[in-house]
Amino acid sequence: MDGSSRWMSCHAITTRDPTGKPLRMAGSQADITEEKTLDVLTGLPNRLLLISQLEIAAGEFACRVAQGGSPSPTHAVLFLDLNDFKTINDTFGHIAGDRLLCLIGARLKATGLQWAEQQTSLVASVIARMGGDEFAVLLEGAATSTAVLAFAQKLQENIEEPFDLDGLSVHCAFSIGATLASEFHRTPEDMLREADIAMYTGKVENRGRIVLFDPAMRDVASQQFELQNDIRTAVAKGEFTLVFQPQVELTTGRMYGVESLIRWIHPTRGLLQPDVFIPIAEKTGVIVEIGAWMLREACLQIRSWNLEFFRDPPLELSVNLSPREFKQKNLVSGIVRTLSETDFAPRLLHFELTEGALFEDIASARLTLNALKEIGVGLDLDDFGTGYSSLKYLRELPFDTLKIDKYFIASLDPQQASSGELVRAIINMADVLGLEVIAEGIESNAHRTTLRALGCRFGQGYYFGKPLNADALHHMLMCEGSDEGGPPLPVPAELPKHFQEQV
């Protein structure tokens, strides 16, 4: 016995006398410390063991500081998350994925030992598997940021050496977050959370990085956390609203359709733009519910305008589909149902997709796109020119329209004849592929004139109209015919301020 705590499993039954009175307990006890503290798959320590070791290290550190000793950190935590493990699982299957995790565990352990041979002032005392593709390391000793980052670097280098998975060479990399002990950590979870936040920050900014925790990251992370929580109930609470941005024929300035864009009126933060919450909705999967809600609302709205104004040809509707929405199993049947329930003509509906949604699994993307074409909706490739833009796929996939990203339009300079060459090249290429082109981000008459001269027929941008709420767009439709392609109508002044989009 070394005085350490053990995990025991106890089973017992009560022995009774003939009258039913309890006499004593009879049973057995087993030491299950290993099962409780070791990860079954990799044999590495598990989360529980890491936390109990971290608790001991933190206790010793706190004692030292309380006795007036140096507050320089005596330990640090690394949080490691494998990049793209899901792809490996999806490609090679779960059994191969598990085997890879074992190989990774072994290599992490070997790195710890290798490091201990060269460095004795800072040792990796626990290397644990936290679950899934996440690992963590407790470093003890002189935990300076330089030494901790050097160890993380060593881990990363070793993990980047290819793994042999049944004869296949597989490349891996971690995103790593690190944090050093401080007097402000109250529980082991505090430190783990900080390392996790640092890891996540690195992952969002630039995958595969090693990031040391900085308190400023906490605010960003807690905001994200709060929004992540709030977004789950936002559809039910009716906090989303739609705005509509005109899409026009460049020659006449006539509005032929609108792109519907979503806004979140958050109860405490006010108006939130999609850049802030769509990634969170994607991550949590709530985007599926939001997307279904928004499609229904937009179809109902456009149909009612078409009926009210006897528009001929009727107003068209463009709706964005984010990668997670695009990948859901019941996408096509859900759309068919919404179209029939809202009595909306499929030929008036376009879906805008970015390349990110397509290339992860091109074969199933093709099936879904073809199924969408079959119901008769249009398919537009959004933000064209900013992604992979593979010509091979452009040719093979059933898109109707390329939507040139606003980046290219912003770089159009009427003083510089050559600035339009890239846009011209995109338009020519679309022509060869039999695709229509729409330019987004048209902010001036000069943009419009240049694009027209380059042969672009359709456009969208602040020059023609910002995304407007339903009342403002209704007003614009009422005034139609009185303006012949002139500059946009002003947003009515009586609208609540948060509905007026800012440039």
Interface residue list for ligand C2E (CB under 6 A) = 245, 261-262, 273-275, 278, 291, 294, 320-322, 325, 352, 382-383, 406, 440-443, 460-462, 467
461 binds, among Mg ion, ligand C2E, none (CB under 5 to 8 A by kind): ligand C2E
The yes or no reply on residue 352 touching Mg ion (CB under 5 A) is: yes
Structure tokens at 154: 């060593």
The yes or no reply on residue 125 touching Mg ion (CB under 5 A) is: no
- DSSP letters along 92-109, please? H-HHHHHHHHHHHHHHHH
The yes or no reply on residue 245 touching Mg ion (CB under 5 A) is: no
- Pick the binder of Mg ion from 46, 247, 320, 469 (CB under 5 A): 320
Structure tokens at 362: 């091109």
97 binds, among ligand C2E, Mg ion, none (CB under 5 to 8 A by kind): none
Residue in 86, 89, 104, 7 with CA at minimum distance from that of residue 48: 7
262 binds, among ligand C2E, Mg ion, none (CB under 5 to 8 A by kind): ligand C2E
Burial 37-55 (b: 16+ CB within 10 A, else e): bbbeebebbbbebbbebbe
Q: How many Å apart are CA 262 and CA 273, to the nearest integer?
A: 8
Residue number with CB closer to Mg ion (140 or 383): 383
Structure tokens at 303: 């149909």
177 binds, among Mg ion, ligand C2E, none (CB under 5 to 8 A by kind): none
Residue number with CB closer to ligand C2E (107 or 296): 296
Task: Supply the minimum distance, in Å, between the C-beta of residue 279 and Mg ion.
Answer: 15
Residue number with CB closer to Mg ion (352 or 501): 352
441 binds, among ligand C2E, Mg ion, none (CB under 5 to 8 A by kind): ligand C2E
In order of 112, 144, 304, the CA distances from 108 in angstroms are: 6, 21, 62
Structure tokens at 52: 């109990």
Task: Supply the minimum distance, in Å, between the C-beta of residue 323 and ligand C2E.
Answer: 9
245 binds, among Mg ion, ligand C2E, none (CB under 5 to 8 A by kind): ligand C2E
- Pick the binder of Mg ion from 181, 382, 402, 454 (CB under 5 A): 382
Indicate the SS3 state at residue 503. coil
The yes or no reply on residue 42 touching Mg ion (CB under 5 A) is: no
Contact present, 484 and 258 (Cβ < 8 Å): no
Residue number with CB closer to ligand C2E (89 or 500): 500
Beta bridge partners of 241: 263
Residue number with CB closer to Mg ion (143 or 321): 321
Helix (H) or strand (E) holding 214: none
Contact present, 208 and 173 (Cβ < 8 Å): yes
The yes or no reply on residue 383 touching Mg ion (CB under 5 A) is: yes
Which residue number is nearest to ligand C2E in terms of Cβ? 461
Contact present, 135 and 45 (Cβ < 8 Å): no
Contact present, 125 and 139 (Cβ < 8 Å): yes
Q: How many Å apart are CA 118 and CA 124, to the nearest integer?
A: 12
Task: Supply the minimum distance, in Å, between the C-beta of residue 352 and ligand C2E.
Answer: 5
Place of tokens 């996939």: 397
Question: If you count DSSP H runs as helices and E runs as strands, how many of each does the chain have, helices first?
Answer: 17, 18
Stretch that binds Mg ion, among 7-15, 90-98, 105-113, 381-389 (CB under 5 A): 381-389
For the beta carbon of residue 266, count every other beta carbon within 10 angstroms. 17
Q: SS3 string of 326-373?
A: HHCCCHHHHHHHHHHHHCCCHHHEEEEECHHHCHHHHHHHHHHHHHHH
Task: Supply the minimum distance, in Å, between the C-beta of residue 324 and ligand C2E.
Answer: 9
294 binds, among Mg ion, ligand C2E, none (CB under 5 to 8 A by kind): ligand C2E
The yes or no reply on residue 316 touching Mg ion (CB under 5 A) is: no
Residue number with CB closer to ligand C2E (133 or 440): 440
Contact present, 283 and 228 (Cβ < 8 Å): yes
Residue number with CB closer to ligand C2E (217 or 286): 286
DSSP secondary structure letter of residue 419: G
Taking residues 264 to 303 in sequence order and writing x for each that binds Mg ion by CB under 5 A, - otherwise, the string is ----------------------------------------
Enumerate binding residues for Mg ion (CB under 5 A): 320, 352, 382-383
